[in-house]
């Protein structure tokens, strides 16, 4: 073993003896790197966003300020569609798609493109969140590093999760939320193989953020003293938050579809959507941008407007977010969900104090906080992410009881009304969401080519029944493909079951040839066909096996018996972890 030979290329780090003994060690090291990079991306993005927002601040008083979000959305759309000719890689759904269908492979340009386009959208005042772009960027960094070291798919997926965890952990200074978000939302699989590197990445991301930005809790507040009435009332808030989540989800999709139908260039649609947001912002400035300042004010109890205005602001923020993102702007739903959640919480609190003024309710800030948990849990349909995020960003463990109630009830309501969360809806509709260990996942991994039975005896169309009986005697199968001896084309299939009556009739032995008795209308599958579709076809036609034919050539048979055997093996390999 020559160490020099192995060290000559630093990219071959995965082959060092230290890591060959156990790849978990390698994963932990890489997770550290990926988490830190994700954290750095988050800090850099945050700095850029703040700079742009502050630079535009003087213009916000001008009467034409409403066009600012429009210009931002326009530039963002132009950047995505013209400069990098790619509009599809920038959302969390794409990250989940990459994890679910592509073994975690993401394009390298996804490291930068979401950051730039979202910075334009949000910095100019569009109502969108800075988290999704950072998460996607972090995931793309993880994927890039995995490819650099030629890691396998499972490890690559873990590193994508690490990048996402590092990003979330860094943005919110919240390591547990990063970990839970990556596992619950991005990977959808709780296994120690994933959790350990992702936890390390979350720590790295958080530490990067703390070093560069200081260790501050995002939304600090006074201690809440929560009583029984508040806990009971939180169930009602959960319903409000759940409904608000469903409304936001549906409106986002509605406007997206509407915008798609109207036609016209993408940048124009984005600009129109942005300007509409600008108009709303003229009346209710709280809807503009990511909205973290507004959340701060609401939790601290400094948000003064009355019930009607807060309720209107809640709906306006939902509309503004749907307009920004649905019309082509770039960004996420994390921050808008937090703003909508705290607005909804505030609305609910004001309504409570109006109807039951005699009860001594807790401060409105607490309900703002609970509303955020409800919205996040509802939008992502990820209760744990909602609970941990709010606990960490508010530093308020004392609210944990109503927090759990709001998160779980809101998730349940959303799941009942919208079976798939905002991130997954599109993927589920396209049948692209394949969580590990599920039937669809196992089937999509297996290729028709892996199931081929090639030990079939091939016969020619001119073969007489007499000769064929000799073939049957020596064969172990009940299916005999008929192949043209000259062109080698597949002509049809002889099934033993179909010709059984003739086998015992010696008069036919020389009178019948294979070409006459074969089934030439037999349904065939191709080697590239989707296994799920092949199976559905077999079920519909009540077939037990099918010939696989590629460009007229017979490749083999595919049968349910082999499929069961291989399916079971695949399931065992996919679901048992060491």
Partner 1 sequence: MDLTLSQIAGCLNVAEPTLERWIRQGRIPVERIGGECRFNRAALERWARDHHIHFSLAAAETEPVVAVSGGLAEAMRRGGVHRDIGGDSIDAVLKNAVAHLTMLPPPMQYELHNQLLSREQLSSTGIGRGVAIPHPRSPFTGIADLPLIATCFLDHPVDFNAIDGRPVFVLFILIGDSIDCHLHLLSRLAFCLRDDAFIDFLRNLPPAEALFDRIATLERPLAESGY
Q: Which of residues 89-148 bind partner 1 (CB under 8 A)?
A: 103
Minimum distance of partner 1 from residue 5's CB (angstroms) = 10
| 14 contributes a contact to partner 1 by CB under 8 A | yes
Torsion of CA 156, 161, 167, 173, to 10 degrees: -140
φ/ψ of 446, rounded to 5, equals: -80, 135
62, 225, 439, 470: residue in contact with partner 1 (rule CB under 8 A) = 470
- Work out how close the CB of 496 gets to partner 1 at its nearest, in angstroms, rounded to a whole number: 18
Stretch that binds partner 1, among 295-303, 369-377, 413-421, 444-452 (CB under 8 A): 444-452
Measuring CA to CA, which residue among 114, 136, 126, 215 is closest to residue 173?
215
576 binds partner 1 (CB under 8 A): yes
| Residue numbers 544-573 binding partner 1 by CB under 8 A | 565-566, 569-570, 572-573
Among 208, 226, 399, 451, binds partner 1 (CB under 8 A): 451
Rounded distance between C-alpha atoms, residue 201 and residue 162, angstroms: 5
112 in Cβ contact with 137 (< 8 Å): yes
Q: Does 155 bind partner 1 (CB under 8 A)?
A: yes
Task: Say if residue 279 is exposed, middle or buried (CB neighbours under 10 Å; 0-12, 13-18, 19+).
Answer: middle
**Does 446 participate in binding partner 1 (rule CB under 8 A)?**
yes
Least separation in angstroms between residue 561's CB and partner 1 is 14
* Residue found under tokens 């994700």: 38
Q: x/- site string to partner 1, residues 471 to 510, per CB under 8 A?
A: --xx------------------------------------
Helix (H, G, I), strand (E, B) or coil at 152: coil
Token pair, residue 517, equals 């008795």
- As a whole number of angstroms, the distance between CA 260 and CA 273 comes to 12
Say which residues have a Cβ less than 8 Å from residue 264's Cβ, sequence separation at least 6. Answer: none
Quickly tell me which residue has 């509309």 as its tokens: 319
Which residue number, 54 or 447, has a Cβ lying nearer to partner 1?
A: 447
Give the nearer residue to partner 1 in terms of CB position, either 363 or 570: 570
User: Site residues for partner 1, window 302-331 (CB under 8 A)?
Assistant: none
* DSSP string over 292-316: HHHHHHHHHT-----HHHHHHHHHH
Residue 480: strand, helix, or coil: strand
In this structure, the number of other CB atoms found within 10 A of the CB of residue 433 comes to 23
Q: What is the largest CA-CA distance in the chain?
A: 102
The CB-of-12 to partner 1 minimum distance in angstroms stands at 8
Tell me the closest approach of the beta carbon of residue 572 to partner 1, in angstroms: 5
- Smallest gap from Cβ 22 to partner 1, in A, equals 10
The only residue of 18, 51, 148, 150 in contact with partner 1, by rule CB under 8 A: 150
Give the binding-site size for partner 1 (rule: CB under 8 A): 30
Backbone phi and psi for residue 345, each to the nearest 5 degrees, phi listed first: -60, -40
Task: State in angstroms the smallest separation of the CB of 476 from partner 1.
Answer: 8
Under rule CB under 8 A, which residues in 15-74 are in contact with partner 1? 15, 20
User: Residue from 225, 439, 450, 505 that binds partner 1 (CB under 8 A)?
Assistant: 450
Shortest reach from residue 134's CB to partner 1, in Å:
27
Q: How far is the CB of 446 from partner 1 (least distance, A)?
A: 7
**Residue closer to partner 1, measured from CB, 153 or 296:** 153
Closest Cα to residue 187, out of 424, 387, 426?
A: 424
Indicate whether 152 belongs to the interface with partner 1 (CB under 8 A). Answer: yes
Nearest to 110 by CA among 77, 126, 132: 132
| Spatial distance between the Cα atoms of 309 and 379, rounded to a whole number of angstroms | 24
Q: Is 466 in the site for partner 1 (CB under 8 A)?
A: no
> 155 to each of 194, 214, 383, 414, how far by Cα in Å?
9, 32, 26, 32
Applying CB under 8 A, the residues found at the interface with partner 1 are: 12, 14-15, 20, 103, 150-155, 445-447, 449-452, 470, 473-474, 565-566, 569-570, 572-574, 576, 578
């Amino acid at each position: 073993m020559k160490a020099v030979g192995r060290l000559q290329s630093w990219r071959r780090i995965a082959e060092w003896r230290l890591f060959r003994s156990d790849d978990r060690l390698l994963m932990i090291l890489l997770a550290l790197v990926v988490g830190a990079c994700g954290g750095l991306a988050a800090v850099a993005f945050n700095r850029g966003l703040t700079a742009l927002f502050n630079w535009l601040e003087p213009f916000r008083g001008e009467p034409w300020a409403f066009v600012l979000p429009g210009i931002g959305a326009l530039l963002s759309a132009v950047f995505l569609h013209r400069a990098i000719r790619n509009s599809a890689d920038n959302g969390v759904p794409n990250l989940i798609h990459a994890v679910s269908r592509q073994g975690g492979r993401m394009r390298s340009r996804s490291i930068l493109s979401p950051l730039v386009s979202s910075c334009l959208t949000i910095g100019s005042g569009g109502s969108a969140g800075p988290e999704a772009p950072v998460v996607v960027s972090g995931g793309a960094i993880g994927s890039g590093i995995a490819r650099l070291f030629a890691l396998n798919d499972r490890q690559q997926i873990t590193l994508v999760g690490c990048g996402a965890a590092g990003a979330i952990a860094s943005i919110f200074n919240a390591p547990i939320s990063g970990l839970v978000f990556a596992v619950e939302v991005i990977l959808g699989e709780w296994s120690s193989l994933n959790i350990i590197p992702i936890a390390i990445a979350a720590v790295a991301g958080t530490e990067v953020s703390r070093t560069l930005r200081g260790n501050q809790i995002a939304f600090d507040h006074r201690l809440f003293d929560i009583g029984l009435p508040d806990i009971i009332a939180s169930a009602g808030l959960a319903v409000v938050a759940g409904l608000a989540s469903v409304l936001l989800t549906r409106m986002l999709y509605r406007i997206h579809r509407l915008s798609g139908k109207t036609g016209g260039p993408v940048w124009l649609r984005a600009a129109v959507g942005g300007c509409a947001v600008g108009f709303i912002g003229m009346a209710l400035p709280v809807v503009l941008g990511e909205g973290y300042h507004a959340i701060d004010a609401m939790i601290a109890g400094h948000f003064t407007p009355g019930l009607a205005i807060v309720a209107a602001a809640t709906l306006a923020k939902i509309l503004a977010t749907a307009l920004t993102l649905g019309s082509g702007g770039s960004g996420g739903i994390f921050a808008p969900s937090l703003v909508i959640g705290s607005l909804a919480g505030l609305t609910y609190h004001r309504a409570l104090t109006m109807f039951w003024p005699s009860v001594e309710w807790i401060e409105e800030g607490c309900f703002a906080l609970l509303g955020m948990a409800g919205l996040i849990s509802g939008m992502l349909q990820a209760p744990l992410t909602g609970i941990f995020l709010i606990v960490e960003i508010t530093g308020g463990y004392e609210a944990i009881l109503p927090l759990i109630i709001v998160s779980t009830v809101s998730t349940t309501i959303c799941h009942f009304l919208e079976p798939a969360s905002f991130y997954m809806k599109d993927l589920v509709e396209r049948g692209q969401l394949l969580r590990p260990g599920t039937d669809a996942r196992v089937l999509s991994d297996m290729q028709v080519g892996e199931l081929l039975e090639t030990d079939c005896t091939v016969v020619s169309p001119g073969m007489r029944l007499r000769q064929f009986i000799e073939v049957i005697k020596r064969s172990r199968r009940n299916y005999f493909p008929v192949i043209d001896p000259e062109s080698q084309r597949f002509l049809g299939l002889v099934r033993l079951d179909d010709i059984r009556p003739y086998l015992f009739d010696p008069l036919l032995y020389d009178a019948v040839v294979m070409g006459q008795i074969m089934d030439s209308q037999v349904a065939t599958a191709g080697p590239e066909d989707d296994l799920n579709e092949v199976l559905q076809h077999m079920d519909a036609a009540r077939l037990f096996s099918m010939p696989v034919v590629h460009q007229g050539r017979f490749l083999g048979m595919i049968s349910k018996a082999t499929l069961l055997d291989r399916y079971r093996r695949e399931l065992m390999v996919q679901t048992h972890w060491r």
